[in-house]
Amino acid sequence: MSYAFSDVNFIPDEIDQVRDQEAPKKSAVKYMIVLFGFFLLVGLGLFAYNLYTKSKINKVIKETEEGSAKIASLSDFGASGYKLGKRLGTIKSLLEVRSYYANLINEINIQTPSDIRIDKIGSAGQTDITINGVSSKNYSPISTFQRNLQSSDSGYFIDVKLDSAKLNKDYGSVEFSFKLVLDKGKLNVKRN
């Protein structure tokens, strides 16, 4: 069935033209809204990332300040540790070059014949030692004592010289004096 007015258009042509002209404007507005929304989301994302980065930076700065405070509090320990380390190094070097005079005295005691009494052991320098003593019989034990020191297995004695020997007629004994030159290197070796 057909209506008599079906082909009749009651809308003026100007309105259709205005609609046709406004259609691209409406689609442009839609695109602008979509673009504005996209840029708004991107901007909010960058703003959130910026806040996150700032919080991380502030956290790192705070940790750095705490670490600096710890380092500052430990610097006194570091300085005292350094001083103690230097002192320990000095003590070690002193112990490495020290002379074991107890070993020397023990060696002299071992090499002393029974007829000899040692009255005095003295030092005349780093490597020079003097021994003063008395032989109860004669000159023979003094000679034995000198040979014992020279042929000692310890190697402490580089040179052993009889400095003086004097007969004491009142007591029937001989007072003597030795000058010994020590091997400082061998004296610095610890022995049990």
The answer to whether the predicted template modeling score (pTM) of the entire model surpasses 0.75 is: no
Check: CB of residue 143 under 8 Å from CB of residue 113.
Answer: no
Both structure tokens of 192? 């049990």
Going by their DSSP bridges, the two strands 157-168 and 116-123 should be labelled as: unpaired
Q: Which amino acid is at 90?
A: T
Both structure tokens of 126? 């780093």
CA atoms within 13 A on the CB side of 122: 9
Q: Could you give the percent of the chain with pLDDT greater than 90?
A: 29
Q: Report pLDDT for 23.
A: 76
Of the pLDDT bands very low, low, confident and very high (cuts 50, 70, 90), residue 105 is confident
- The model's pLDDT over 164-192, given as tens digits with 9 standing for 90+, comes to 989 888 888 899 999 999 887 777 766 65
Q: Of the candidates 138, 150, 147, 148, which has an alpha carbon nearest to the alpha carbon of residue 176?
A: 138
Check: CB of residue 119 under 8 Å from CB of residue 126.
Answer: no
